[in-house]
Structures are given as C-alpha cells and as structure tokens.
C-alpha cells in the first residue's frame, strides 16, 4: 500500500520510542491519516511459541463506548428465536435462505453471524465460506446461542471478537478517531484486559511481547502494554 503526504508528515512527528497510552492516543487523534473518520486498532505481538499446539488465543471484548461502527448482524434461526432477533435489530434473519445464499453465492455482507444451537446443524454447511473470514458462529464468542436478542444487542453495542493469527499477531478494533480521548483510552484498556484474560494457562512469562495503536491510514505508535484497566 502506498502512503500519501499526510502519512509521511505524521511519520516525521511520530514518537521514536514506546510511549504511554495517553500519549499514543493523543498522537493518533492529532494526526489524521485520511479525511474520513478512521477506525483505531490495537495491535499485539504475542510470541511465536503461541502458534504451537492448542495455545491459539481468541476471545471477546465488550467496548464500554462501542466500536463506532455500524455492525451488520446476520442471524441463522427460526421460530421465536428469529422473531426475537428481528425485534432486537438484526439486519438479516433466516435459515435455509441465508444458508443457500452463503453456500451458493459466497454471500458475506455482514460483520457478525449468530446462530441458535439447533440451527448450527445446518449452518456448518457454511464453514468453508465463513470460517476463513472469521464469521463462523462459535460458542466461545457467544454467537451460538438461543438468546438471539441479547446476542444481537451486544454485537450492535460494540462486542468485538478477536483471534490470533498463525504468526502470533493479533489486532482488535478499539473505536473511532473522532471519539473523545478518554473514551478511546477506556476502550483500549478494555481490549488489553480482554487479551490478557485470554492468556492460555500453559503460557508462562511475558504474554504480550509488544503493543501498538494506529488509525486506519495513520502511523503506528508503540505503547507500553503494562496498562491498568480501571
């Protein structure tokens, strides 16, 4: 990806060392990388030893001030669970029709997929399409549930799931650059707390090797990961 003038101007002003969370958030807010309201992401490097065996890191975080994103939610359900999902604000609700759309058309125009326990018997047919995109419903992230109304409301309110990649890296949405600094800081603290909470019991020593934050088109700033969640 090529960078523009804004990026290189910000790069000149960027801290050359690890800074506090407050300093990093101030820099990101003061140095826009684009004209649109950029998403702010947290990036973590967790170490290569986590890529072995069953130590893959995944979990969820409920951002106290939301993600700032208009989250599209698809719910695979029938009967009362489907009606509850619609009432809670789900964007797409169905069963055979949605499954066929995914399997035959490769449709993935949503950010979160939720399914009832019963529906999962059929939704597994979508694994080849949804799995690689991180959209497959999973009990560990609360997206396989019969309480579809609560799951939809939480997804819309800013519940974010995360998963480490094969190289030990992890990225998590923390909000929008337009958020007040204190709200971004609170969201990022919640993210760090959730990532630390997902540490496998078998992992000893330092868990988060390094951490940084940046906006969508902005410069990445290294942050001290020893952050107290207030």
Round to the nearest angstrom and report the end-to-end CA distance of the chain. Answer: 37
Q: What is the pLDDT of residue 170?
A: 92
Strands of the sheet with 221-223, listed across from one edge = 169-176, 39-45, 210-215, 221-223
* Least confident piece of the model among 11-20, 56-65, 145-154: 11-20
Element (H, E) at 61: strand 58-62
99/4: higher pLDDT: 99
- Percent of the chain at pLDDT exceeding 70: 91
pLDDT, average across residues 105-124: 95
Residue 11 banded pLDDT, cuts 50, 70, 90:
low
Q: What is the pLDDT of residue 56?
A: 72
Residue 52 banded pLDDT, cuts 50, 70, 90:
low
Cα torsion through 83, 86, 90, 92, rounded to 10 = 80
pLDDT, average across residues 215-227: 89
pTM of the model as a whole: 0.79
């Amino acid at each position: 990806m090529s960078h523009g003038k804004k990026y290189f101007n910000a790069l000149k002003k960027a801290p050359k060392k690890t800074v506090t969370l407050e300093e990093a958030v101030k820099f990101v807010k003061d140095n826009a990388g684009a004209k649109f309201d950029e998403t702010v992401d947290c990036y973590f490097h967790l170490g290569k030893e986590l890529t072995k065996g069953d130590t893959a890191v995944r979990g969820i975080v409920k951002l106290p001030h939301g993600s700032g994103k208009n989250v599209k939610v698809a719910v695979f359900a029938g009967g009362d669970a489907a009606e509850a999902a619609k009432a809670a604000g789900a964007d797409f609700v169905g069963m055979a029709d949605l499954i066929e759309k995914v399997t035959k058309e490769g449709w993935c125009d949503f950010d979160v997929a939720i399914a009832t326990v019963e529906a999962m018997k059929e939704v597994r047919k979508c694994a080849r399409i949804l799995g690689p995109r991180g959209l497959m419903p999973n009990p560990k992230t609360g997206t396989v549930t019969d309480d579809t109304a609560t799951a939809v409301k939480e997804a819309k309110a800013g519940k974010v799931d995360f998963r480490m990649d094969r190289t030990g890296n992890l990225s998590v949405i923390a909000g929008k650059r337009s958020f007040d600094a204190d709200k971004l800081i609170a969201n990022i603290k919640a993210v760090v707390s959730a990532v630390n909470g997902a540490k496998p019991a078998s992992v000893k020593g330092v868990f988060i090797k390094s951490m940084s934050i940046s906006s969508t088109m902005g410069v990445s700033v290294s942050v001290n990961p020893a952050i107290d969640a207030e």
